[in-house]
Amino acid sequence: MKIFFSSFLTVLIFLQPIFSAAQRKTVDQRVDSVLRLMTLEEKIGQLNQYNDDWNATGPVTLDSTKKEQVLQGQVGSLLNCVGTLRTRTWQNIAMQSRLKIPLLFGQDVIHGYKTTFPIPLAEACSWDMDAIQLSARTAATEASASGINWTFAPMVDIARDPRWGRVMEGAGEDPYLGSKIAYARVKGFQGNKLGEVNSLMACAKHYAAYGAAIGGRDYNSVDMSDRLLWEVYLPPFKAAVEAGAATFMNSFNDINGVPATGNKYLQRDILKGKWNFKGFVVSDWGSIGEMINHGNVKNEYEAALSAITAGSDMDMESRCYKNSLPQLIKDKKISAALIDDAVKRILRKKFELGLFDDPYKFCNAEREQAALNDPAHTKIAREMAAKSIVLLKNENELLPLSKNIKTIAFIGPLVKAKKQNKGFWDVEVPGVDSNFIVSQWEGLQNKFGSNSNLLYAKGCDIEGDDKSGFAEAVNVAMQADVVILSIGERRDMSGEAKSRSNINIPGVQEDLLKELLATGKPVVVLINAGRPLVFNYTAEHAPAILYTWWLGSEAGNAIADVLFGPALGGINPSAKLPISFPRSVGQIPVYYSHFNTGRPATDDSNRNYNSSYNDLSIFPKYEFGYGLSYTSFQYSDLTLSKKKMKVNEPIEVSLRITNTGKYDGEEIVQLYLRDKVGSIVRPVQELKDFAKVKLRSGESKTIRFTIDKEKLSFYNQQLQWVAEPGDFDLMFGASSRDIRVKDSFELLN
Ligand code: GLC
């Protein structure tokens, strides 16, 4: 009888869409109608996620029973399963299960799918929220046409330690900029609303404070005050919730001694409680089982108890839920209601995505072909890449290169590289040749004209001490009007599990630069990396430097667009650093929004008995917010509507920005505040707003900002978000150090 009844109800669920809107049940009613049919085993199945057998992003457990488990309704989602063919195959199997609950297909679509965009840290240099959102939107358009309905992105971890390889995956050191970018990326991935055929569920990760791993060592412990957690590391996650992120992913690290996966304070009190998050939390790969390694639980049984109680809804690859939740229920250690809450959160997303109405909606091969071959996507990627390139140095206006140059020597181990330009967390799309990447060599040929004199020499490898290629490189350089040297790290030297104790430019690449400079030829250096590297020799001796990160499919064209600038249809660089660049690994952590301390060293002349290193400047090599342009900008006419403000009566601020150079360009105007006295000491600067201003040569614009209570607030000792009366400094800068105009005001009682 039950079978007949459940089959009838199953049919009813799928007939829903044809009912009139008035009769159509709400999502929650539809969820409840499915939940009522489910056995405990099927409920636990929804909490279970496996890696497909095709590609892995973590330690794989060999398991030949996955297909049978899907048939039995014991799997809720697969990851690393891409393409309409393969996802359709698995969905077909799920449609043969008793209740036909569709699978979710998750993938790390971090910075593009088939079309690869710049790594997220590079995109963050654009400070261009529209461009960043469009990048994520384009990635979602491709991935959702290829069977995927869930991306494990954006990674929103604040990171202030470039030894940590995953610094490449986020938006740098600052909570304000990081929050804006988190919001833009969630909106980009999810589009107008979940359920549209080109929308992906976003996943804010890694919750929380994964980027604060001690020593920058991946997976290491995190230890910080709740106040610092709230003030610096949580804001981008809150922004993701405000953007409507469908899911969260917890992090591998323990935080203050409690693994994030089993951290009730993070997942229940804050995320699902205070922030009222209605989506679901997936564990990071195996992190539930890893609580045993942490020494926080004794075995899988205790791990499952801890994680489900703390609010981890779906178990990625640890099998603790599948193996232990049934016994925990039997032993009355947990209630069925706890399981039901997790199951309902997951089913709700499957309904919102429209998978119950059409389990194959993301599996249309024709749509896949169209989306993966849309020429508009490469144009978007090229523009995003050009906006991500940071001009660090440009002595005597060596750049942009003159179009009258006759011969260029393009030298270095990354000049003709293809896949290297993809950086870490690219997606290997089956049947798609990754050689459609435009190499730096091809980009220059496209721009400079393949018939012109473009000379090449590799010079050396990325690593190793072999200098045998130097002579050829010098010989090639001697024939050229200008030398471009492309050096850096390998793409797999940053990313997950890629922490490094030495972040110098590897090998003998800077020695090669030395030889090339000795020729007397002008040398432009391109630095390719997923993290801030240390390159003091290059910084001091090369006349021009572009930090090109890893720029993705259109790397070569974007680099050429910036090298030649507007004269040859390219662009004037406008990017600014979202993270401080240390002078040495010994200077880490170095970040702009530090406290003053009782013995502040305000410049290198007064380090004695002040907070500094005796053998190093107090300043980073390049500061947060730094980046040059081919033109110049003047800041003037700073005006405040008043100098004393009441807490609910904001100050209106305006200033004029003038393009005083000969090229049209864009300036990222940064607004910093300093709260001079607080019950908790306040940073010497905090980014509180910014504007990216486009100005033609000679043009001026007045830009306006509002200083309101929100901008003056911080978490006090009691973790209350408060604005305290007192004096504030207001600074506008082209970087956190290059302050152009400033004033002060008072917040009254
Ligand atoms: C990895 C990463 C996480 C990723 C997941 C699935 O270990 O930590 O960011 O989304 O596993 O690939």
Domain that holds residue 713: 633-747
Angle at 132 between CA 129 and CA 133, to 5 degrees: 85
Ligand 1 atom with the smallest distance to the CA of 203 is: 10
Predicted local confidence at residue 14, as pLDDT: 52
For ligand 1, mutation pick of 285, 315, 424, 427 (most atoms within 8 Å of CB): 285
Cα 298 to Cα 315, 316, 690, distances in angstroms: 18, 20, 49
Protein residue with its CA nearest to atom 11 in ligand 1: 285
- The CATH number of the domain holding residue 497 is 3.40.50.1700
Q: Are strands 254-255 and 258-259 parallel, antiparallel or unpaired?
A: antiparallel
Pocket-forming residues, ligand 1, beta carbon under 6 Å: 57-58, 79, 108, 152, 205, 284-285, 496
Please check whether residues 517 and 412 belong to one and the same domain: yes
Predicted local confidence at residue 436, as pLDDT: 86
Predicted local confidence at residue 59, as pLDDT: 80
Residue 668 lies in a domain: yes
Phi, psi of 81 (to 5 degrees): -125, 110
Q: List, as one string, the DSSP characters of 218-267.
A: TT--B---HHHIIIIISHHHHHHHHTT-SEEEE-SSEETTEEGGG-HIII
Per the model's pLDDT, the better-predicted residue between 239 and 433 turns out to be: 239
Predicted local confidence at residue 63, as pLDDT: 78
Distance CA 503, CA 486 (A): 17
What is the CA(143)–ligand 1 centre distance, in A? 17
What is the CA(251)–ligand 1 centre distance, in A? 9
Q: List, as one string, the DSSP characters of 328-366.
A: HHHTTSS-HHHHHHHHHHHHHHHHHHTTTT-TTTT--HH
Alpha-carbon radius of gyration of the chain: 27
Q: Report yes or no: 722 and 714 within 8 Å, Cβ to Cβ.
A: yes
Q: Confidence band (pLDDT; 50, 70, 90) for 21?
A: low
Cα 466 to Cα 134, 148, 458, 669, distances in angstroms: 43, 44, 12, 45
Distance CA 458, CA 415 (A): 7
How confident is the model over 617-653, as pLDDT tens digits? 999 999 999 999 999 999 999 999 999 999 999 999 9
Predicted local confidence at residue 2, as pLDDT: 46
What is the CA(55)–ligand 1 centre distance, in A? 12
Residue 744 has pLDDT above 50, yes or no: yes
The rounded mean pLDDT for the chain is 95
For ligand 1, mutation pick of 50, 51, 57, 200 (most atoms within 8 Å of CB): 57
Residue 96 has pLDDT above 80, yes or no: yes
Nearest to 555 by CA among 407, 419, 452: 419
Distance CA 121, CA 166 (A): 10
Protein residue with its CA nearest to atom 3 in ligand 1: 284
For ligand 1, mutation pick of 496, 498, 499 (most atoms within 8 Å of CB): 496
Distance CA 186, CA 280 (A): 15
Q: Report yes or no: 535 and 365 within 8 Å, Cβ to Cβ.
A: no
Please check whether residues 549 and 696 belong to one and the same domain: no
Residue 394 lies in a domain: yes
Q: Is 675 a catalytic residue?
A: no
Predicted local confidence at residue 24, as pLDDT: 59
Cα 106 to Cα 36, 51, 110, 149, distances in angstroms: 26, 9, 12, 6
For ligand 1, mutation pick of 203, 249, 426 (most atoms within 8 Å of CB): 249
Mean per-residue pLDDT, 392-396 = 98
For ligand 1, mutation pick of 108, 169, 247 (most atoms within 8 Å of CB): 108
582 sits in the region (left: phi over 0; alpha: psi -120 to 50; else beta) called beta
Residue 19 has pLDDT above 70, yes or no: no
Q: Report yes or no: 322 and 329 within 8 Å, Cβ to Cβ.
A: no
Ligand 1 atom with the smallest distance to the CA of 286 is: 7
Ligand 1 atom with the smallest distance to the CA of 206 is: 9
Q: Could you tell me what percent of the chain has a pLDDT over 90?
A: 91
Q: Are strands 523-528 and 544-547 parallel, antiparallel or unpaired?
A: parallel
Q: Report yes or no: 631 and 643 within 8 Å, Cβ to Cβ.
A: no
What is the CA(273)–ligand 1 centre distance, in A? 25
User: Two tokens at 421?
Assistant: 């330009």
> Count of CB atoms within 10 A of residue 197's CB?
16
Residue 646 lies in a domain: yes
What is the CA(205)–ligand 1 centre distance, in A? 9
Phi, psi of 504 (to 5 degrees): -70, 160
Q: Report yes or no: 78 and 88 within 8 Å, Cβ to Cβ.
A: no
Q: Confidence band (pLDDT; 50, 70, 90) for 1?
A: very low
**Boundary of a domain, candidates 553, 578, 603:** 578
Distance CA 358, CA 351 (A): 10
Residue 615 lies in a domain: no
Residue 511 has pLDDT above 60, yes or no: yes
Phi, psi of 309 (to 5 degrees): -70, -35
Please check whether residues 561 and 656 belong to one and the same domain: no
Ligand 1 atom with the smallest distance to the CA of 106 is: 6
How confident is the model over 61-75, as pLDDT tens digits? 777 899 999 999 999
What is the CA(91)–ligand 1 centre distance, in A? 23
Residue 340 lies in a domain: no
Helix (H, G, I), strand (E, B) or coil at 673: strand
Please check whether residues 564 and 674 belong to one and the same domain: no
Please check whether residues 691 and 571 belong to one and the same domain: no
Mean per-residue pLDDT, 448-473 = 93
Nearest to 46 by CA among 74, 72, 68: 74
Please check whether residues 563 and 699 belong to one and the same domain: no
Residue 84 lies in a domain: no
Ligand 1 atom with the smallest distance to the CA of 153 is: 10
What is the CA(664)–ligand 1 centre distance, in A? 42
Q: Could you tell me what percent of the chain has a pLDDT over 70?
A: 96
How confident is the model over 360-379, as pLDDT tens digits? 999 999 999 999 999 999 99
Distance CA 322, CA 74 (A): 8
Q: Report yes or no: 56 and 80 within 8 Å, Cβ to Cβ.
A: yes
Protein residue with its CA nearest to atom 8 in ligand 1: 284
Ligand 1 atom with the smallest distance to the CA of 80 is: 12
Return all residues near 47 (Cβ < 8 A) that are at least 6 apart: 76, 308, 313, 314, 315, 321, 322, 325, 339, 342, 343, 346
What is the CA(276)–ligand 1 centre distance, in A? 25
Q: Confidence band (pLDDT; 50, 70, 90) for 22?
A: very low
Please check whether residues 638 and 516 belong to one and the same domain: no
User: Two tokens at 201?
Assistant: 């569920």
Return all residues near 125 (Cβ < 8 A) that are at least 6 apart: 387, 388, 389, 390, 547, 549, 575, 576, 577, 578, 627
Please check whether residues 448 and 526 belong to one and the same domain: yes
- The CATH number of the domain holding residue 742 is 2.60.40.10
Q: List, as one string, the DSSP characters of 131-160.
A: HHHHHHHHHHHHHHTTT--EE---B-----
Please check whether residues 569 and 678 belong to one and the same domain: no
What is the CA(206)–ligand 1 centre distance, in A? 9
Q: How many domains does the chain have?
A: 2
What is the CA(365)–ligand 1 centre distance, in A? 27
Sign of the alpha-carbon torsion through 546, 550, 551, 556: positive
Distance CA 21, CA 243 (A): 27
Protein residue with its CA nearest to atom 10 in ligand 1: 152
Residue 720 lies in a domain: yes
Cα 46 to Cα 283, 334, 349, 539, distances in angstroms: 14, 17, 12, 53
How confident is the model over 549-576, as pLDDT tens digits? 999 999 999 999 999 999 888 999 999 9
What is the CA(285)–ligand 1 centre distance, in A? 6
Ligand 1 atom with the smallest distance to the CA of 57 is: 12
Mean per-residue pLDDT, 408-432 = 94
Please check whether residues 527 and 653 belong to one and the same domain: no
Residue 299 lies in a domain: no
What is the CA(57)–ligand 1 centre distance, in A? 6
**Boundary of a domain, candidates 548, 578, 608:** 578
> Count of CB atoms within 10 A of residue 266's CB?
26
Mean per-residue pLDDT, 587-601 = 97
Please check whether residues 390 and 484 belong to one and the same domain: yes
Ligand 1 atom with the smallest distance to the CA of 251 is: 8
How confident is the model over 207-243, as pLDDT tens digits? 999 999 999 999 999 999 999 999 999 999 999 999 9
Q: Report yes or no: 524 and 398 within 8 Å, Cβ to Cβ.
A: yes
**Boundary of a domain, candidates 559, 578, 597:** 578
Ligand 1 atom with the smallest distance to the CA of 252 is: 8
Residue 509 has pLDDT above 90, yes or no: yes
Secondary structure element (H or E) that encloses residue 369, with its range: helix 365-372
Indicate the Cα dihedral angle 525, 526, 528, 534, nearest 10°: 30
Q: Confidence band (pLDDT; 50, 70, 90) for 7?
A: low
Nearest to 325 by CA among 292, 288, 350: 288
How confident is the model over 26-62, as pLDDT tens digits? 999 999 999 999 999 999 999 999 999 767 778 877 7
What is the CA(595)–ligand 1 centre distance, in A? 33
Residue 13 has pLDDT above 80, yes or no: no
Q: Report yes or no: 530 and 424 within 8 Å, Cβ to Cβ.
A: yes
Secondary structure element (H or E) that encloses residue 324, with its range: helix 320-330
Ligand 1 atom with the smallest distance to the CA of 169 is: 9
Indicate the Cα dihedral angle 322, 325, 326, 330, nearest 10°: 170
For ligand 1, mutation pick of 49, 166, 282, 284 (most atoms within 8 Å of CB): 284
Q: Report yes or no: 372 and 119 within 8 Å, Cβ to Cβ.
A: no
Distance CA 690, CA 420 (A): 33
Distance CA 267, CA 258 (A): 12
Distance CA 301, CA 184 (A): 39
Q: Report yes or no: 202 and 457 within 8 Å, Cβ to Cβ.
A: no
Please check whether residues 530 and 676 belong to one and the same domain: no
Angle at 731 between CA 725 and CA 733, to 5 degrees: 155
Predicted local confidence at residue 579, as pLDDT: 98
Single-letter amino acid, residue 516: L
Q: Confidence band (pLDDT; 50, 70, 90) for 451?
A: low
The 3-state secondary structure of 299-321, one letter per residue: CHHHHHHHHHHHCCCEEECCCHH
Cα 51 to Cα 65, 100, 260, 585, 732, distances in angstroms: 12, 20, 22, 36, 48
Q: Which of 161, 254, 284, 561 is catalytic?
A: 284
Predicted local confidence at residue 55, as pLDDT: 72
